[in-house]
Amino acid sequence: MLYEFGLSPGVFDKSLITSNDFLARDLVRFLDGLQQNGLIGNLCDGELRREIGRKLVALPSGRLREELRYGLEMLDRRQRFIDRPYAGPGWPDDDATWFQEAVTSHSNEAFYSIVTTEVTANGRQCPPCTLRIGSVCSSSLWTGRQNSRRVERRATAFQDVLRPVLRNAKSLMLIDPHIQPERARYFRSLQAMIQLAYNRLVPNSLKVFEIHSKTKADYSWYHNELRSRIGPLIPSGCQVRLVLWEDPGDRFHNRFILTNFCGISVDRGLDESDQGLDHDDWEIIDERHREDVWNRFRTAGVSTYGPVAYECTLP
């Protein structure tokens, strides 16, 4: 549902895209599509985005530069550039070495695809997921992307779908009014998502992690149940905030997974099925919708669902 791309900055070279309108249009469409459901691996600890910025400045003023500037600005605003650690062995100084950096990073943590130029790809051993600018938006990898999908209600399936989301989020909310940690089908999925979210080089780069659910009759029992089951999964120096809402009007029904860069609507909940093979419908929500839901639950002490009945931090 969310797809992380590697990129060599040569696709923004002035000599390439100002002389070939077909390549330029493909690049613009690529950036447009990334706003819907894409991430860019920001190679060399964020240096890739700065290199792209330098290439953008070098372009002549006009429509193309403005379209590319707008596309990059929207990706920046939606926090879709995800820092990737320097892979090496040498610091990239041309498009060929930037491409090699992407390939090495891909071997450490797979991209959905790597986009580069025809010149850079020619004569090199490229991963099967490599796409050349000019043919990106007509490729089966690109047209096969989905904003919604059927997801098997099983913890390992949740991990497969959410891997690029949870491992890269700086802020994360799990929202489900019916979380019951004492039941195995809820605990297994919570365990899987928490473990995946913190499975990163720097676990405390996940700055905000919140679980929102409905009020329970015995708050201390609920707290202790979560603390004993989930607390050991939280790395040292990290915290998960639990918030239980009163919801006197019984309006808290929808389930979401929200991060700083995307939101996913989860139709039937964050628990596994206890009735054999079963599926759920998940869908990426648009940016305004994500912001609206986020703000509803981040309001201090009160929201659409009434006041906060109980909150605590784990472990």
Tokens linked to 225: 């149940």
Tokens linked to 259: 């991060």
Tokens linked to 155: 């913890």
User: Which of these, 242, 245, 285, 283, lies nearest to 266 by C-alpha position?
Assistant: 283
pLDDT digit string, tens, across residues 260-308: 999 999 999 999 998 888 999 999 999 999 999 999 887 655 567 778 8
Q: What is the pairing mode between strands 306-314 and 240-245?
A: antiparallel
pLDDT at 302: 59
Angle between helices 219-230 and 184-197 (to 10 degrees): 50
pLDDT at 303: 65
User: Which of these, 114, 55, 59, lies nearest to 84 by C-alpha position?
Assistant: 114
Angle between helices 184-197 and 155-166 (to 10 degrees): 30
Ranges of each domain in the chain = 3-143, 148-314
Output the CA–CA distances (angstroms, integers) from residue 15 to 19, 31, 274, 283, 290, in the order listed: 6, 19, 58, 39, 39
Q: What φ, ψ does residue 92 adopt, rounded to 5°? A: -65, 135
User: Which of these, 6, 3, 9, lies nearest to 41 by C-alpha position?
Assistant: 6
Q: What φ, ψ does residue 126 adopt, rounded to 5°? A: -110, 145
Residues 248, 307: Cα–Cα separation, whole Å: 9
What is residue 260's three-state secondary structure? coil
Residues 22, 43: Cα–Cα separation, whole Å: 26
Q: Which CATH superfamily is domain 148-314 in?
A: MITD, C-terminal phospholipase D-like domain (3.30.870.30)
Q: How many CB atoms lie within 10 A of CB 252?
A: 22
pLDDT at 250: 79
User: Which of these, 116, 145, 132, 120, lies nearest to 38 by C-alpha position?
Assistant: 145
pLDDT digit string, tens, across residues 34-73: 999 999 999 999 999 999 999 999 999 999 999 999 999 9
Q: CB burial class (10 A; 0-12, 13-18, 19+) of residue 122? A: exposed
Residue 210 near residue 300 (C-beta atoms within 8 A): no
Rg from Cα positions in the chain? 21
For the chain (length 315 residues), average pLDDT per consecutive 10? 96 97 98 98 98 98 98 98 95 97 97 98 95 98 96 95 96 92 87 95 95 79 80 93 84 93 95 89 96 83 73 87
Residues 145, 2: Cα–Cα separation, whole Å: 8
Residue type, 133: I
